Amino acid sequence: MTRVEHGQSWVAKAISSDVPPGKRELALRIQQLCRHLTGESGAKKGILKPTQAQAAKRLGISETSLSRFLSGYSVPAMELLALIHASAREDAASDFPADITLADLRNLRDRANADHCDSCVTLRAELEQLARSREDGPQFPAADLGSADISAERTHQRSTVARLTQQLGTLEVQRDRLQQRCDHSEAEVDRLRAEIARLSSRLASMNPVRQQPQQVSQIRCRSPRRQGTGSGLPQPSGPPGTSPPRLAPSREAAGKAACCHSCITRCAR
């Protein structure tokens, strides 16, 4: 079993038991390639022991797509598989395993696609049946069939094989295009999520700056106005141009004033 270095545990994805053998073998080979990848984050490149997100950015695909390739749930397009191979080979330098070739990956991908597409499986079965019938030769004695009949039968089989092969190629091209569109869509979703997170973080950092003048304004509004006596208490106001009216003294204040007046009078005597 291949040892996975610390920091790259994401490479060794668990492959479900319901994944067909062809897709399983391709997924294991992709895992082997991804162990040699470096990563990218922002402007930084060549990150050793990258995370899954950094490795996905190195390949220019979404993290979700890379995870599905490693788990055997999706089969990458041949162009993307070649990119993974070239990137891993470039990053690994002299440590790249020589037994992993593009031809080997192409064969594994063909086997995985046979499990991946029901229509392709049906067409491949028909092709194999026709190939066996051609190898077995005519089912009727040669005496019963003339050379013209045998030639016509072979021509019919060849045309059938050509037609089915063309249909198979068309289906594979359509599947690859849909897979690429799916990869691009998932990459765009990841980009938008990252942009939303960046803008949200920026907005959160700007909120305290915006709230500070508002808080100062509220404090000023709550501060008492100092008018006239400087007591800090609100002073009654009258019409413009007139002095503020005097408040009637309270009983306690009047009593204190009378007491003081009495004391002053006695001292004067």
% residues pLDDT > 70 (the chain): 64
124-169 pLDDT, tens per residue?
667 777 767 666 655 555 455 567 777 787 788 888 888 888 887 7
**What CA–CA distance (Å, rounded) separates 226 from 234?**
8
Q: Given this model, what pLDDT does residue 186 score?
A: 74
- Tell me the average pLDDT across 189-215: 74
Q: Is the pLDDT of residue 242 over 90?
A: no
Tell me if residue 21 falls in helix, strand or coil: helix
Residues 6+ apart with CB under 8 A from 100: 29, 32, 33, 85
Q: Given this model, what pLDDT does residue 195 score?
A: 82
HEC assignment per residue over 196-243: HHHHHHHHHHHHHHHHHHHHHHHHHHHCCCCCCCCCCCCCCCCCCCCC
Confidence of residue 247 (pLDDT cuts 50, 70, 90): low
- Residue 122 CB coordination number (10 Å): 12
- Residue 211 CB coordination number (10 Å): 10
DSSP state of 46: E
210-239 pLDDT, tens per residue?
555 565 556 565 555 544 444 555 555 556
**What CA–CA distance (Å, rounded) separates 172 from 113?**
8
